[in-house]
Every structure is written in C-alpha cells, then in structure tokens.
C-alpha cells in the first residue's frame, strides 16, 4: 500500500474520532441543532472553518498549496443544497458523519449509508444528462471571496468576520427555548 | 423525561473545533481538500468495476474518480474506524432510533431505517450534483474562501432547519 492510502486512513480515523466525540454522529443532537435547541454542532463546524482557513493561509505562506476550488453553478449548486438540506434535516446525517455513525454502531446510519450509495449510483448513471442540463449553463466559475474583495487577505478577513458573527448569533438564538 | 437530562460526555464545541481544524490543515498539507461524498463514488467504483468494467468505463462520474484503492476510500473507511474507536471508548448512548424521532413517529425501527435510507439517498444524490457535501464543499470550500462552499453552506443550513421543523413539528408545543 502506498503512503497516500495510509495518510487517508489516518486522517479518516482522526476525523471520525473527533466528530463522534463532539456529538456530530448523534442524529438526535443534529436534530436539536436544526430545531434551534442546541447550538454546539453548528458552532463547532463554523469555528472549524475559521481556524482551518487561517491555518490554510499560513500553510500557503510556506509554499504548500494543495488547494482545489469547486466552481459555483447557481442552479446546480443551489438546487443540490436545497435537496441536501431537506435530506439532512430529515435524517440527521451528512455523508461523512454517516460513516462514523456506522462505525459507532448506529443501525439507522447503516441504512443512510445504503441510501447514500444508491443515490450516488443514480447520479453517476445520469451524470451525462444532469451536468450539462443543470450545472453547465449557470456555472460562474471557481470564484472566491478573494476575487470579489481584491485579495486573499481581505477575503480571509471577511470570512472570519462573517463566520464569527454567525457563531455569536447562534450562541444568542439557539437554545433559548429549552431554558426559557 | 429523565432520559433527556442524562449527562453526555461530549466534548465542548470550541476545543473540538481546534482538533478538527488541525486535522483539516493536516489533510491540506498531505493530500488536498478533505472530502467524504467522493468516497461513496470510490466505494461504488471499486465494487462495480470487477462486475461490469465496461459500465464503469462508460460513465464519466466513475471515470473522474479513483477507485477504492485511493485516499478518498481510505478516508471514509477511516471515519468508520474512528467512529468505532470513539464509540467504544465513550459512555455516550447509542440508539438505532433517535429520541426526538421516537417522540414523533414511535418506536418502529423499520420506519426510521426507511427514513434514513431516503435521507441518505437525497444527501448523496445532491452532493454528487454539487460536487461535494458538508465536508467536501461547505467546509473544504469555505476554508479556501470558495463562493461555492459559502453558497452551499448557507442553503443547506436554512433548508435543514425548515425540513427539521416539518419533520419534528414545533418543539415548543411538545414541551408543554
């Protein structure tokens, strides 16, 4: 086995361990997050992005740049996000947390995994029809906040301010009903 | 509702976010943007290519992804192992039917399994259309300041909140 596979396995184990420990593999906790009863998981996710973005900025300064940005397709990315959101709110699992929840021994996650494989297979079968139809026409390219704001530093600053506001807002608005 | 008040031993969100960000930066150093929905494609490709090699060769979605002998599959497999180790070493209760779900739809495991199958189907179909999921598009994308990740991230949170409202009803009313 080559090094890349060991790195993937190691990264996955660490990732799965942390998301279980914070409760992201618990569909009940995820439902509480979506119902605004508990703000821990969304704040955890958003804060992880803020720290990762700062870390990636530092990493790129050392010359290591393995970035790869996905394009924005107004229709495909937007429609996919709507479908994804509906499914996420419905079952309480994401593609990644599903694997960790399966490992944890949650049987409902095993069925989410089967459903996920079926959904992937269906999309893969119709890729040639759906991508030109939904993705291509409104694809506005691999744009970043840096492109909009004239540089990576203002882009990163905007992300940190925006996401910090989200974390603050979630802290204020989530969980009020349970205690009040 | 004594069960609900049970003490969980989950980590606090702030230190946990440092741990996750450390792993994400490690992945960016040693591989590239972390992703998990792509791992589903690699899983299927690895399984199908032995049975129907022509089919896999014909389909762009399988051609563009590596098979199961890849970082992407090792990562999702690792997540299951990580979840297993974390689950065995913690006191968190694992149930096949979450409590809020039970309160609304009853004890039926079949009903819950059908629901998670449909949910899993939707999130993966959608992720493959967008090119990524919560990790591969929202987290990885936003970390790279990508507009696609932010656009996807805002909408998935909004629609998950709306969907949960419909599925679980108004939680205030249930409490009284």
Mean pLDDT of A12-33: 97
Distances (CA, A) of B156 to A52, A78, A89, B1, B59: 20, 9, 9, 31, 28
Chain A from 25 to 64: CB within 8 A of any B CB: 25-29, 31-32, 34-37, 39-45, 47-53, 55-56, 59, 64
Any B CB within 8 A of A66 CB: yes
pLDDT tens digits, A6-15: 999 999 999 9
Listed residue (A165, A162, A135) closest to A149, CA to CA: A162
Query: What's the mean pLDDT when you consider all of chain B?
Result: 92
pLDDT tens digits, B122-160: 999 999 999 999 999 999 999 999 999 999 999 999 999
**Closest chain A residue to B26, measured at CA:** A11
Q: What pLDDT, on the 0 to 100 scale, is given for residue B5?
A: 47
Which residue carries 């004890």 as its tokens?
Answer: B107
Pick the most confident of A96-100, B88-92, B167-171.
A96-100
Confirm if A77 and B146 have CB atoms less than 8 A apart. no
Which residue carries 């914070």 as its tokens?
Answer: A22
Chain B from 46 to 105: CB within 8 A of any A CB: 59-62, 69-87, 90, 92, 94-101
Angle between helices A95-104 and A3-22 (to 10 degrees): 80
A170: chain B residues, CB-CB within 8 Å: none
pLDDT tens digits, B4-30: 445 568 999 999 999 999 999 999 999
Collapse the DSSP code of B34 into the 3-class scheme (helix H, G, I; strand E, B; otherwise coil) and give the result: coil
pLDDT tens digits, A162-180: 999 999 999 999 988 654 4
B14: chain A residues, CB-CB within 8 Å: 43-44, 47
Distance from CA of A172 to the nearest CA of B (A): 15
Q: What pLDDT, on the 0 to 100 scale, is given for residue B9?
A: 81
Confidence of residue B2 (pLDDT cuts 50, 70, 90): very low
Q: How far apart are CA A131 and CA A76, in angstroms?
A: 8
Angle between helices B147-168 and A74-91 (to 10 degrees): 40
Listed residue (A162, A156, A159, A157) closest to A60, CA to CA: A156
A130: chain B residues, CB-CB within 8 Å: 129
Q: What pLDDT, on the 0 to 100 scale, is given for residue A176?
A: 80
The count of C-alpha atoms lying within 13 angstroms of the C-alpha of A136, restricted to the half-sphere facing its C-beta, is: 7
Q: How far apart are CA A54 and CA A135, in angstroms?
A: 30
Residue A120 pLDDT exceeds 70: yes
Percent of chain A past pLDDT 90, that is, above it, reads 96
Q: How far apart are CA B28 and CA B25, in angstroms?
A: 5
Chain A from 106 to 145: CB within 8 A of any B CB: 106-109, 111-125, 127-128, 130-131, 134-135, 142-145
Q: Classify residue A180 by burial, with Cβ atoms within 10 Å: 0-12, 13-18, 19+.
A: exposed
Higher pLDDT, A179 or B33: B33
How many C-beta atoms surround the C-beta of residue B111 within 10 A?
12
């Amino acid at each position: 086995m080559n090094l890349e596979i060991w790195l993937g396995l190691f990264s996955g184990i660490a990732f799965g361990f942390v998301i279980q420990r914070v409760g992201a593999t618990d569909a009940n906790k995820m439902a509480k997050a979506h119902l605004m009863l508990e703000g821990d998981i969304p704040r955890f996710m958003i804060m992880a992005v803020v720290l990762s973005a700062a870390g990636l900025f530092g990493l790129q300064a050392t010359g290591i740049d393995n970035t790869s940005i996905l394009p924005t397709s107004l229709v495909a990315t937007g429609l996919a996000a709507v479908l994804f959101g509906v499914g996420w709110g419905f079952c309480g699992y994401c593609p990644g947390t599903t694997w960790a929840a399966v490992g944890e021994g949650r049987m409902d996650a095993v069925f989410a995994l089967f459903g996920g494989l079926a959904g992937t297979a269906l999309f893969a079968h119709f890729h040639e029809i759906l991508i030109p139809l939904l993705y291509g026409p409104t694809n506005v390219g691999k744009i970043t906040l840096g492109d909009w704001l004239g540089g990576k530093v203002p882009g990163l600053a905007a992300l940190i301010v925006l996401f910090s506001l989200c974390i603050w807002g979630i802290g204020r608005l989530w969980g009020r009903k349970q205690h009040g | 509702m004594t069960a609900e008040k049970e003490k969980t031993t989950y980590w606090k969100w702030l230190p946990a976010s440092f741990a996750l960000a450390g792993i994400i930066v490690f992945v960016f150093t040693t591989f590239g943007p972390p992703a998990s929905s792509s791992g589903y494609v690699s899983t299927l490709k690895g399984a199908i290519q032995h049975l129907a090699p022509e089919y896999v060769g014909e389909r762009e979605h399988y051609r563009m992804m590596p098979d199961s002998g890849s970082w992407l599959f090792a990562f999702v497999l690792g997540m299951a192992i990580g979840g297993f180790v974390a689950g065995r070493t913690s006191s968190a209760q694992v149930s096949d039917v979450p409590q809020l779900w039970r309160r609304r739809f009853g004890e039926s495991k079949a009903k819950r399994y059908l629901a998670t199958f449909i949910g899993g189907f939707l999130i993966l179909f959608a992720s493959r259309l967008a090119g990524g999921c919560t990790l591969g598009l929202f987290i990885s994308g936003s970390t790279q300041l990508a507009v696609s990740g932010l656009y996807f991230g805002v909408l998935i949170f909004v629609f998950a909140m709306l969907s949960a409202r419909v599925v679980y009803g108004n939680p205030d009313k249930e409490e009284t």
